[in-house]
Amino acid sequence: MSRIVVIGGVAAGMSAASQAKRRLPEADVVVLERGPYVSYGACGMPYNIEDPGRTMDDLVVLTPADVREREIDLRLRHRAAGLDLERRVVAVQDLEGGGASELGYDALVLATGAAPVRPPIPGLDHSRVFLLRELTDGQALKQHLAEAQPARAVIVGAGYIGMEMAEALRGRGLAVTVVERMGQVTPGYDPAIAALVADALQRHGVSVETGVSVQAVEEVGGEGLTVRTDRGSIPTDMILVAVGVRPRVELARSAGVALGETGAIAVDDGMRTSVPAVFAAGDCAEARHIVSGRAVWIPLGTTANKQGKVAGANAAGASERFAGVAGTAGFKVFDLEVARTGLSTVEAVGLGLEAVTAVSRQRSRAHGYPGGNPITTTLAVERGSGRLLGAQMAGVGVVAKRIDVFATALTAGFDVEALENLDLSYAPPFAPVYDPVLIAATVARKRLRAAERKEAAAPGRVGR
């Protein structure tokens, strides 16, 4: 009987284990998970935290009993302490019993995920400073809200988690300040989109400090905390650090598994690593970007589940392929929906592509139908070819699903003219005759043509 060992039991890991068992029922599939939970919806934690009546267990998708019913050997609170790739052996540490053992494998899937970044700032180890990555983090934060009933919170970092938690903590009645080192909230988004996010935060009572560096966290009188920055101090009762994550690659690196240029584990489209019979998937692994063709590291739950499925199938002897990513993602902050796919103009230019940006603004519903609101869209378009490179949207209305049209267009390799001619649905409750997607394409085409005419008319250029 062959043995497939999966290290990590959340999104990618459980997808890999389930797929491997489905493909090769006679295989001994073993999952090593260092934590007490498997298969939970970590992305739902901010919304769970906002509701004091819900338990964090509501986010669990598969219980240990569910996993074992699939005849998967699940070992909770077991850590992979090392790999011997020549002998095909995993060194295992029992975190509860304290014992150590070895586990042989015929195929191995690394699904070790990502770890939250804790900057080297004095005071961040205080008991009222929280991270939010794993279910146990969410439980600790929610318990603190219930027991200590803090009145003020500082969120360090204005990415997805920071934005969602700003809404959640405001919903719990806290005064919230967001501190971001970069010059805008939601770094990576175009300035026109980031400005709408900042406005939404401020309209709902969140104080926003951008371009600010945190220097230390200090306790005041045993009761309060102070976040000391290069612009002054912010008094608070609790702190959430949400400055990003990094891939957990220590196990792979120490064993000699090759890492890619992003710092995550290098894989091919079958999720194979540099070592025979060793696969990697999820937040610890790279992916190919469908627009740039380059290896990227974009840790998302959607990617983790898809990569895990491919890794598990191939560990069981199949020949599946992961098609790549566009980095499609979205979030909500109060009444504003925000989403993106593909490259921003800045990212495109950084890769050596010639790109222009087109910004458009269109109502979400037909004129005269109640409830319509403006949607702002930014497109990155390649000069010359007119190829769509990326899209970002923000507005009060259906944004998160409209971005999927752009993601589909990126997969198909559309230029803006093909996008402009899509036959999208129309009815007054859902969209104007010309959907914001189509208007964005029209504006981008005109912007592109104007840029080309300006370039042709520049001194030293020979016109036709």
pLDDT at 381: 97
| b/e map 129-139, b = 16+ CB within 10 Å | bbbbbbbebbb
Inter-residue contact 263 to 248 (CB < 8 Å): no
Give the residue from 207, 208, 162 showing the smallest Cα distance to 184: 208
Q: Would the pTM of this model clear 0.85, i.e. be above it?
A: yes
- Taken in order 264, 299, 339, 201, is the CA torsion positive or negative? negative
Integer Cα distance of 313 and 211 in angstroms: 46
State how far the Cα of 161 lies from the Cα of 153, in Å rounded to an integer: 14
Task: Output the six-digit token pair for 349.
Answer: 């230019």
Q: Is 284 a catalytic residue?
A: no
Q: Which two tokens stand for residue 67?
A: 């996993």
From 23, 43, 215, 349, the catalytic residue: 43
Task: Give the 3-state DSSP-derived string for the chain, with helices as H, strands as E and coil as C.
Answer: CCEEEEECCCHHHHHHHHHHHHHCCCCEEEEEECCCCCCECHHHHHHHHHCCCCCHHHHECCCHHHHHHCCCEEEECEEEEEEECCCCEEEEEECCCCCEEEEECCEEEECCCEEECCCCCCCCCCCCEECCCCHHHHHHHHHHHHHHCCCEEEEECCCHHHHHHHHHHHHCCCEEEEEECCCCCCCCCCHHHHHHHHHHHHHCCCEEEECCCEEEEEEECCCEEEEEECCEEEEECEEEECCCEEECCHHHHHHCCCECCCCCECCCCCCECCCCCEEECHHHECEEECCCCCEECCCCHHHHHHHHHHHHHHHCCCCCCCCCECCCEEEEECCEEEEEEECCHHHHHHCCCCEEEEEEEEECCCCCCCCCCEEEEEEEEECCCCEEEEEEEEECCCCCCCHHHHHHHHHHCCEHHHHHCCCCCCECCCECCCCHHHHHHHHHHHHHHHHHHHHHCCCCCCCC
CA dist., res. 383 & res. 452, Å (int):
8
* Residue 449: Cβ within 10 Å count: 11
C-alpha span between 436 and 293 (Å, rounded): 28
Q: Are 86 and 73 in contact (CB under 8 A)?
A: no
Question: How many angstroms separate the CA atoms of 373 and 395, rounded?
Answer: 7
Domains (range + CATH), the chain: 3-35+77-114+246-315 (3.50.50.60), 129-243 (3.50.50.60), 337-456 (3.30.390.30)
Which of 255, 266, 252 lies closest to 297, judged by CA? 266
pLDDT truncated to tens, each residue of the chain (464 aa)? 699 999 999 999 999 999 999 999 999 999 999 999 998 999 999 999 999 999 999 999 999 999 999 999 999 999 999 999 999 999 999 999 889 999 999 999 999 999 999 999 999 999 999 999 999 999 999 999 999 999 999 999 999 999 999 999 999 999 999 999 999 999 999 999 999 999 999 999 999 999 999 999 999 877 789 999 999 999 999 999 999 999 999 999 999 999 999 999 999 999 999 999 999 999 999 999 999 999 999 999 999 999 999 999 999 999 999 999 999 999 999 999 999 999 999 999 999 999 999 999 998 888 878 888 899 999 999 999 999 999 999 999 789 889 999 999 999 999 999 999 999 999 988 888 999 999 999 999 999 888 777 777 777 654 43
Contact by Cβ (8 Å): 128, 144 = yes
* pLDDT in the model for residue 222: 72
- Asked if residues 378 and 197 have their Cβ atoms less than 8 Å apart, the reply is no
Tell me how far apart the alpha carbons of residues 439 and 445 are, in angstroms, rounded to a whole number: 10
Per the structure block, which two tokens stand in for 299? 């840790």
